A and B are shown apart, each in its own frame.
Chain A
Amino acid sequence: MAGSSSLRIGNKIKRSEQHVKRKKEKESTKRDERLKRRRHEDKNPDLRAARQSRNVPATIDSKRTWDEVDPDEGEEGAALGRSVDILRAKRRRVEEPEAAEDVNGEEAQDKEPLDNEDDDLDSMLGSDSDSDAGTKPAPPVREPSEAPSIATDLALTPESLSTRFPALFDPPPDQQPKVLITTSLNSALHQEGQMLTTLFPHSTYIKRSAHAHAYKYSIREIAKYAHGREYTHLVILNQALHVKEPSGLDIVLLPGGPMFHFSISHFVAGKKLPGHGNPTNHYPELILNGFKTPLGLLTAHLFKSLFPPHPEIQGRQVVTLHNQRDYIFLRRHRYVFRDKRATEKQIQGTDGKPMKGVEEVRAGLQELGPRFTMKLRRVDRGVQRGSGQEWEWKGGDEKVRTRFSL
């Protein structure tokens, strides 16, 4: 690179020609190397596996930081405000009774059953970056599979959490949810409200106010009346000021239960999606991905409670709530299991390896109904702000890029 002034060619045309030439050369050598490497690796796939295991790209999800929890705290550590990975913490505590969140302990265990462990597990959760750094690069460190050998009810929800929210964690069996959907005051989101009735089975949409001069029912009153009519959830679609779009979603567990406030972005109606399908009223299956902390667990149980517990699989519909970095993506699909076409790849597990036993199968997805993104902002103990907050989103929490609350 002719960076220094002494080597810099004075003539701009010549200079740029040289630059282009140099660049081409560089790119060409890179390309040659790349193609040569590919040829080598095509002959010997182990090389590729080794190289890829060496060069694992760092993602924010792999660098995720967790709040420190003293082992003495025990259940306190699973307070809502803490970003603690309850699932892994429990698993570890199960596997090594000595060391609670000790990374070394984990490493020691990892090394031993190295080859037996399943592929799909936990590569996304990843081992800690510590343990990764500690072990040799060649065979990727895998965490032991769902360990809980100690069979007796390994309740993965911390006791404190499930006792505080019995309606969510210990619901009466076979309780069908009944959802009342409405909007904020002075809102024009009637179509969106109707869309949500297709999303939640056993739901009805009721307009918030009859007309502009009618009595304005407050949320507390509506919750009371709804509970009287045996509704289990109240869903409020908030409208942003002066924009005819949903900007928030409030879910109230009746009666007087915790209230969850979400903000919504990118609400897209089903009709606007290319290649969309029309939903039927079969109970959908539910997929809840990526909820790791106590707060995440709470949210996951909330979503679970909104849908009937026994899905009708002949309907082949699935509602997915995928949490990634505190953003919950809601999608709704109709799926079909079909043969894999010759041009398609096999389905890969979370570690990037193809899944066994289903090499010839792919699942086709057709998107139905609305899709949107939610972000949890606040959890109230009772019905509204006045009843005290369990948890509140604060901008300051996001200063650390790698810390997530759900």
Chain B
Amino acid sequence: MASEEIVWSILTNQFCSFKLALPGNKSSTQKSTKQTFCRNEHNVTGLCNRQSCPLANNRYATIRSDPETQRLYLYIKTVERAHLPSKWWEKVRLSGNYTKALQQVDERLQYWPRFLTHKCKQRLTRLTQVRVRAQRLLKEGERLGETLVPRLAPKIRRREETRERKAEAAAKIERAIERELVERLRSGAYGDRPLNVEERVWEKVMRGLERSQEGVVDEDLGEDEEEGVEYEYEREGQEQEVEYVSDLEESDDEEGEDLEDFQDWLGGESGGDATGSEDDDDDEEVDADGDDAALKKKLDSLKRKRPVAPTKKPAKKPVKRAKANIEYEYEPVPEPREMLLAD
């Protein structure tokens, strides 16, 4: 008994490592939280009092929960073991049922001071409520399935921002869009008389396509007819796949289409909308630059006026190239044949 007093006087007057005085407590104006707190895990009330201090009482009881199983245990400290600090606390497991647990506490601490039993029961109640609430939150989180996405580390955030900026600069989105749209227009994905183009512009495009087509026709006059049919057929088959291919890239082919859109627009008729001429056009455009220049020269000689800008280029190209290029024009023609055979 005497030792209790001694211990308490030391703890209050000198030093207790578990005592916690909050910053606002010292002032005279603050009245509500004058109470100091006790950080000892076995303290039943959490306050620093003569009655509540587990170190200054040889007979003490508290309730604590097991972190893993969430079960509540009654810890009892008796006078008989006061000299064996390592064996102070006797652990009694309480029932999971709240009322039964209360009864157990009552029965175990039957002749104990009412303060301790009362505080133990209060603590039991509070811990049960905490446990119930935690379970409810867990279940809710489980149901919602949403967790706050942790923020990216600053280094990664910065890196991504920079990379995004560079990617945007490299992408040249508007140019790609323009190219793709004009590509679709040129390849006839919009049909014979498209609704999204003005008459004038559409005519220009048609003329441009015919010009390039005409060149081919002029060159392979006799031969193209038979081959032309097969070639067309071949191209039609190819075109479908072509769209498929080019859709998912930086659609760079002249046949590049949005794969599904194109297939839908064509409605399964293989390249039906794209007329034979346009198919040939596409083939034609497969040729290298030089071919086109030569063709344009040819057309020049053939007939009509041409828009200003392109005339410059073909005019510039020295005539000597024309002969060499003519040879190349024949080359694509046998190729598809081979491909057909290879089928």
By a beta-carbon cutoff of 8 Å, the part of chain A in contact with chain B is 45, 59-61, 87, 91, 113, 115-125, 145-146, 148-151, 154, 156, 184-185, 216, 218-220, 238, 241, 248, 265-266, 285-292, 296-297, 300, 304, 309-311, 313-316, 318, 320, 322, 324-327, 329, 331, 333, 335, 337-340, 346-351, 353, 355-363, 365, 373, 375, 383-386, 395, 398
The A interface is mostly helix, strand or loop, or mixed, namely loop
Q: Are A359 and B249 in contact (CB under 8 A)?
A: no
Other than the known A355-B186, A383-B145, what 11 A-B pairs have Cβ atoms closer than 8 Å? A146-B245, A149-B340, A150-B339, A150-B343, A185-B146, A286-B258, A288-B247, A296-B248, A309-B260, A335-B178, A361-B201
B194 interfacial contact with A, CB 8 Å: yes
A-binding segment of B26-34, B78-86, B204-212, B220-228: B204-212
Q: Are B182 and A248 in contact (CB under 8 A)?
A: no
CB distance from B269 to the nearest CB of A (A): 15
- The digit string for B281-294, where 1 denotes a CB below 8 A from any CB of A, is 10001111110100
Mask: chain B, 190-232; 1 = CB below 8 Å from A; 0 = not: 1000111110111011001101100000000000000000000
In the complex, the answer to whether B241 meets A113 with C-beta atoms within 8 Å is no
Interface presence of B159 (CB below 8 A): yes
B251 contacts chain A at the CB level, 8 A cutoff: yes
Name B's A-contacting residues (CB within 8 A): 140, 143-149, 153, 156, 159-161, 163-164, 166-168, 170-171, 173-183, 185-186, 190, 194-198, 200-202, 204-205, 208-209, 211-212, 234, 237-238, 241-242, 244-256, 258, 260-261, 264-265, 281, 285-290, 292, 307, 309-310, 316, 328, 331-332, 335-336, 339-340, 342-343
Among B178, B196, B288, B310, contact of A362 (Cβ-Cβ < 8 Å): B178
Cα distance, A119 to B241, chains bound together (Å):
18
Q: Contact: B249 with A125, CB < 8 Å? A: yes
| B254 CB to nearest A CB, Å | 6
Determine whether the beta carbon of B252 is less than 8 Å from that of A115: no
Give the chain B neighbours of A265 by CB distance below 8 A: 160-161, 164
Please determine whether B250 and A125 come into contact, CB atoms closer than 8 angstroms: yes
Knowing A45-B316, A289-B251, A313-B194, the reply to whether A384 touches B174 (Cβ < 8 A) is no
In contact, A297 and B339 (Cβ under 8 angstroms): no
Overall SS of chain B's interface: helix
Contact B343 A149 (CB under 8 A): yes
Contacts of B208 in A (CB 8 A): 356-360
CB contacts (< 8 Å) of B167 on chain A: these are 324-327
Cβ contact within 8 Å between B281 and A87: no
Residue of B140, B161, B182, B335 with most chain A CB atoms under a 10 A cut-off: B182
Query: Separation in Å of the B149 CB from the closest CB of chain A?
Result: 7
Q: How far is the CB of B148 from chain A (nearest CB, A)?
A: 7
